[in-house]
Structure 1
């Protein structure tokens, strides 16, 4: 998969098995590769609010599919000893059509036929559209893993994913789980750095510039008045709202802010909107994952606003923070071939749970996995690779 930051493609490998109502997930590792520079440039120039052409969309669908295919083949060879049975391809989100609080469509590029042809393996792709068709947000689908995984902790837990957009899944005993996008994580931070450096830098490494800046309280208050934050869950958003141009009207007419001060203010925005979701949930722990966990300035800002609620990294519970979302989509695709509904209606807002995705056959069709008698109720992360 590649997230909304589209800085790289990640492939996580896992052994998955259902036994006695429990999914056992054994992480086998992660490989990553940057997109070719021309793909990154084309994506940046094609994403909203920019205009694009169908020719560009077609070229991107092919280029992203080929990049995914190359990395999937590498992951099979390096992580699975050439014995992989299935590839799950999230694709690259290029448009998430949200309007008046409702998602009407979502588009991920990365033609799965390239993956199937390169690897010879069956591919599950287009995982969000079925949930949208069932009235859901199509996001956050990582909630499927979060709910099964955190339920066994028997406490009010929040899974926080810090990608381009931040999202939370709230899992509490005796309550229906809830999930939603809280707002931007790195999307605005990255856009500001890219604009300020003319594209020479993609992000604020380690949050160093933000750490040297000061929060502009007036600008932060104006940003927090964004109507999206006040909408009830379930809800989802993306770069269609929090685009590189999003900040322009907020900055117009204000004295120019130094780059470190602007980054400090945007870091505070991410921290405050994510922490507000945790406080509202009455959570007693936060389990964080995603690329934003590599930003110590952001993590420090979060901890300052969590009122003493412990902030753990998902690594501490067995899932590498940088790969957790990829493992979640591996789980979704595994459920698809097992014939199991994967979406969680209380998290996405769908009318019902659905078997997600579309299937592209491999050279030998696709595996016929036996359907379990019931959907699993929890997930356990196993660490012993030698038991494969």
Structure 2
């Protein structure tokens, strides 16, 4: 097989590609934001390539991608490895779990970390039949990767992009926490069902109404924009209602500076029982250490809601009021997150760690979002031209 240049036009969903000693590292935030604005949590999450994929047209019968992963591991709490999905002409034909790569082992009890180095993985793709095929290699949503080398037995060219470009910002739920593979995170499920092109700015622990994220959205081309806010603000106990409402208005104002007429959807949190009535901060439940399971609890005092502490119920009311106050913006819509995953859904398809949806939950949310927001008559597309 011949070596193929890994050029930016083969890779969709990335803000930038950083040249490293090994190869190319995809980023979901531009360099200026990473250098000045991103804290260690966001720096880790934005380099996990949720929604990023190689997309090519080829008559090759086989090709291979070498990649070097870096993952976070919690000592004493096993976590599933990242997975690469291969989609051919729109159909998922295979998934490969990563086995090698570097691990940053975190000790949640002491706060210490240890780097355990490893080798690269190779994803091999075998194709049947003759003629051109559109092949997508979806990178892991939960591990950083460096693209080392691409080889094929026939030329590859960039796939033609089709459908509107949907830019979505949210939390770890939007990044894909607890989903099993990169095409099974809810934004990818929704995008593939609706025939739109996803650029995913879902960042674990980091949907905090940051002004610099609004500037990134402002400066990024998009046909459709959605912003899902609230859960991180609550579980970090980051704001009070007064500051939250003002920050959301400023966030939307900044987006509108670059996208004055782009359809824009403000989405409130899905149901999460621990934070519906109880403020943050959230914490890891220490009882999980005995069973090797990570679960979350809310540690705030419900009595302080009257003084401005935030719960998910307060957040939903506040976001609905924000959109109502901006009634002069006909392309701004509101979606109550309970329509995507509500209390009855939590009883039928529980959040396994009390915070993030299961694989079944991601499928439910993705299918509903596709219908409610991304269908031809959905909130983001009806009347958008």
- Report the TM-score, using the length of structure 2 for normalisation: 0.26
Higher share of residues assigned helix: 1
Q: Which has the higher strand share?
A: 2
